[in-house]
Amino acid sequence: MFGAGAVTIGTFLRPAVARPTWPEGNSAAVSLTYDDGCDSQLENVSPLLDDLRLKATFFLTIENMRARQADWVGLAKKGHEIGNHTMTHPCRLSGYSAEQFRREQIDPAERYLDTNFGGLKPRTFAYPCGFEGLGRGATNKRVQSYLDVLRPTFLAARTVNGLPNDPRDVMRQRYLLNGFEPTYDLDDPRPAFTYLKKAIDHGHWAILIFHEVLPARRSAGDTSTSVHRTILEHMSRQPIWCAPLRTVFSHVAGTTELP
């Protein structure tokens, strides 16, 4: 009896909204996200997004982008989303208490973005280096500590791992949304094609992550302009709704039947 009950509960938690409705008759959704506030995104990404009429999410690290603040404000005015990627992009998080992380990395970045960008709030967040734990101790405790910092301030947060997001899981996973860095290991468009196909086949939400976009790849994490263009042009031909993270999240939050 207990076993049968467990199966029933599992079914109940995943309601029969097999394929959510995506705007404009599309089969899936995709958000393009660009991390770190790299100059190369101003030079090599923004013009291509204009050409293809796409809107993206830029997760700014304040110390990286300050020198070109006016250019970033200009980019935001085109309708791109600006998200928070901390003040200094710390990747060693064991020494932070939740309070210290909020005080040094989250709140000042929010104030800076409020002052210089305005825009819709709450913003979205991306984890620097994809690290999802804060402070010391067991993994669960560190993850919980980070979530406790993010929840009061942000609408949602993006990690750097996982398959396209099932809309039925998005509210539960809103501070741990899956993202994918298609060119992290290889400057090759095919992993992105495969990932997008998975999203389309299942009606899920793909979140692509890019860092530096340069004429030629220099190191892991870089994407060449030609591969970046190939991915975006391919994506534009697919039945997939492309919108910033905040926009897709809001769509899912408003339309998905939740348990």
Q: Which stretch binds Zn ion (CB under 5 A): 7-15, 27-35, 184-192, 200-208?
A: 27-35
Least gap, CB of 11 to Zn ion (angstroms): 39
Complex with Zn ion: residue 35 or 81, whichever CB lies closer: 35
Q: Is 35 in the site for Zn ion (CB under 5 A)?
A: yes
H helices of 53-156, in order, are: 62-65, 69-77, 98-101, 107-116, 139-150
Query: How far is it, in rounded angstroms, from Cα 51 to Cα 195?
Result: 23
Q: Which of 20, 36, 214, 224 binds Zn ion (CB under 5 A)?
A: 36
Q: Is 132 in the site for Zn ion (CB under 5 A)?
A: no
Q: Which of 207, 196, 186 is nearest to 234 (CA)?
A: 196
Q: Are 134 and 98 in contact (CB under 8 A)?
A: yes
Least gap, CB of 37 to Zn ion (angstroms): 9
Q: Is 169 in the site for Zn ion (CB under 5 A)?
A: no
The token pair that represents 244 in the structure block: 């910033």
Q: Which stretch binds Zn ion (CB under 5 A): 3-11, 35-43, 156-164, 177-185?
A: 35-43
Q: Which stretch binds Zn ion (CB under 5 A): 69-77, 111-119, 127-135, 156-164?
A: 127-135
Q: Is 212 in the site for Zn ion (CB under 5 A)?
A: no
Q: Is 110 in the site for Zn ion (CB under 5 A)?
A: no
Q: Which stretch binds Zn ion (CB under 5 A): 6-14, 99-107, 126-134, 174-182?
A: 126-134
Find all residues with CB under 8 Å of 178, minimum gap 6, and list them.
158, 159, 161, 162, 163, 164, 165, 207
CA distances from 58 to 93, 149, 231 (A): 23, 21, 18
Q: Are 60 and 84 in contact (CB under 8 A)?
A: yes
Give Cα 21 distance to the centre of its chain.
21
Least gap, CB of 1 to Zn ion (angstroms): 50
Complex with Zn ion: residue 96 or 241, whichever CB lies closer: 96
Give me the half-sphere count of Cα atoms (radius 13 Å) on the Cβ side of residue 136: 1
Number of residues near Zn ion (by CB under 5 A): 3
Complex with Zn ion: residue 36 or 81, whichever CB lies closer: 36
Q: Is 181 in the site for Zn ion (CB under 5 A)?
A: no
Query: How far is it, in rounded angstroms, from Cα 161 to Cα 172?
Result: 16
Contact footprint for Zn ion (CB under 5 A): 35-36, 128
